[in-house]
A and B are shown apart, each in its own frame.
Chain A
Amino acid sequence: MAIWIILAAMTAAAVMSALWPLSRARTAALGTAGEGLFYRDQIEEIDRELARGLFSPAEAAAAKAEAARRLIRAESRRETAGPSLDEPALRRRRAASAVALSAVPLLALAIYGAYGSPHEPAQPLAARLVQERDLADMDISEAVARIESHLQQNPADGRGWEVLAPVYMRQGRFDAAANAYAQAIRHLGEEPNRLANYGEALVNASEGVVQAAAREAFEAAVATDPLQPKARYYLGRAAEQDGDPEAALRRYEALLRDSPSDAPWISVVRARIDALGAASQPASPALGIDAIEGMVAQLAGRLAEGGGSAEDWARLVRSYMVLDRAEQAAGALAEARRALANDPAGLAEVEETARHAGVGGESGQ
Chain B
Amino acid sequence: MLIEAGHFALALALGLSLVQFAVPLWGARTNDPVLMSVGGPVSVAVFLLVAFSFGVLTHAYMVSDFSVLNVYANSHSAKPMIYKITGVWGNHEGSMLLWILILALFGAMVGVARNSVPPKLRANTIAVQGAVTIAFLLFLLMTSNPFERLTPAPFEGQDLNPVLQDLGLAIHPPLLYIGYVGFSITFAFAMAALIEGKIDAVWARAVRPWTLAAWLFLTLGISMGSYWAYYELGWGGWWFWDPVENASLLPWILGTALIHSTVVMEKREALKVWTILLAILTFSLSLMGTFLVRSGVLTSVHAFAVDPDRGLFILVILVFFIGGSLALFAWRAPLLRQGGVFAPVSREGALVMNNLFLATACATVLIGTLYPLALEAVTGAKISVGAPFFNATFIPLMIPLLILVPFGQVLAWKRGDLAGVAQRLAAAALIAAFVTVLIYGFTYGGPVAAPLGVGLGVYLILGAFNEVVTRSWSPGVSLSVAARKARGLPRSTWGTVMAHAGVGLTVIGIAATAWSTERIVSMRLGDVADVGGGYEARLDSVAPRTGPNYIEDVARMTLFSGGREVGFVESAKRFYPVRAMPTTEAGIRTFGLSQVYVSVGEEQPDGSLGMRLYYKPLILLIWLGTVVMAIGAGISMTDRRFRVGAPVRSRNAPPTAAPAPAE
- Which A residues lie at the B interface, using CB under 8 A? 2-3, 6-7, 10-11, 13-14, 17-18, 20-22, 24-42, 44-45, 48-49, 52-56, 59, 62-63, 66, 70, 78, 81, 83-84, 88-89, 92-93, 96, 99-100, 103-109, 111-112, 115-118, 120-129, 330-331, 334, 337, 344-345, 348, 351, 360, 362-365
Contact = CB atoms under 8 A, between A and B. Distances in A.
A344 to B, nearest CB: 6
Contact of A334 (B205, B605, B659): B605
B648 interface: yes
B603 A364 contact: yes
A128 B37 contact: no
Nearest to B116: A34
10 contacts: A18-B38, A21-B38, A39-B201, A54-B413, A89-B34, A104-B12, A106-B15, A107-B11, A111-B11, A120-B67
Given A35-B202, A41-B641, A107-B18, A66 B32 contact: no
A111 B141 contact: yes
Nearest to A31: B647
Contacts of B383: none
B64 A38 contact: no
Given A89-B32, A92-B35, A120-B67, A33 B7 contact: no
Given A7-B5, A26-B33, A63-B413, A48 B65 contact: no
A26 B32 CA distance: 11
B581 interface: yes
A96 B12 contact: no
Interface stretch (B19-27, B87-95, B163-171): B19-27
Q: How large is the interface on B (under 10, 10 to 19, 20 to 34, 35 or more residues)?
A: 35 or more
B377 interface: no
A26 B654 CA distance: 16
Contact of B581 (A28, A105, A120, A344): A344
B1 A2 contact: yes
Contacts of A42: 201, 267
Interface stretch (B144-152, B227-235, B500-508): B144-152
A36 B400 CA distance: 40
B2 interface: yes
Contacts of B40: 21
A362 to B, nearest CB: 7
Nearest to B12: A108
A99 B23 contact: yes
A272 to B, nearest CB: 35
Contacts of B320: none
A277 to B, nearest CB: 38
Given A10-B5, A59-B412, A44 B654 contact: no
A120 B605 contact: no
Nearest to B41: A17
A28 B37 CA distance: 9
A331 B9 CA distance: 58
A40 B153 contact: no
A77 to B, nearest CB: 9
By DSSP majority rule, is chain A's interface helix, strand, loop, or mixed?
helix
The 6 closest A-B pairs by CB, nearest first: A34-B647, A41-B645, A17-B45, A124-B63, A33-B654, A125-B64
Contact of B607 (A52, A117, A363): A363
Contact of B34 (A22, A54, A117): A22
Contact of A14 (B12, B23, B489, B663): B12
B476 interface: no
Contact of A105 (B15, B37, B151, B641): B15
B545 to A, nearest CB: 12
Interface string B124-160: 0000000000000000011001011101010100000
B65 A116 contact: no
Contacts of B33: 26-30, 83
A348 B573 CA distance: 13
Chain B residues touching A, majority SS = mixed
A361 B356 CA distance: 62
B15 A103 contact: yes
B193 to A, nearest CB: 14
Contact of A120 (B3, B66, B267, B651): B3
Given A29-B33, A83-B33, A360 B603 contact: yes
Interface string B622-663: 000000000000000000010011111011001100110111
Interface string B45-66: 1000100000000001001111
A345 to B, nearest CB: 5
A11 B18 CA distance: 14
A78 B67 CA distance: 58
Given A37-B655, A120-B149, A70 B269 contact: yes
Contacts of B15: 14, 103-108, 111
A360 B609 CA distance: 12
Interface in B550-574: 553
B302 interface: no
A6 to B, nearest CB: 6
B14 A128 contact: no
Contact of B582 (A7, A36, A344): A344
Given A99-B22, A125-B155, A33 B647 contact: yes
Interface string B167-189: 00000000000000000000000
B487 interface: no
Nearest to B420: A53
Contact of A38 (B34, B205, B489): B205
B34 A364 contact: no
B297 interface: no
Contacts of A107: 11, 14-15, 18
A307 to B, nearest CB: 23
Given A30-B119, A45-B641, A37 B269 contact: no
Most chain B beta-carbon contacts within 10 A, residue among A14, A26, A63, A105: A14
Contacts of A84: 30-32
B575 interface: yes
Interface string B195-226: 00000111001000000000000000000000
Contacts of B66: 123, 125
B197 to A, nearest CB: 13
A104 to B, nearest CB: 4
B19 A103 contact: yes
A100 B651 contact: no
Given A41-B644, A104-B15, 15 more contacts: A14-B45, A18-B23, A34-B646, A35-B200, A41-B659, A44-B659, A52-B471, A70-B201, A89-B32, A111-B15, A116-B7, A121-B67, A126-B64, A127-B63, A334-B605
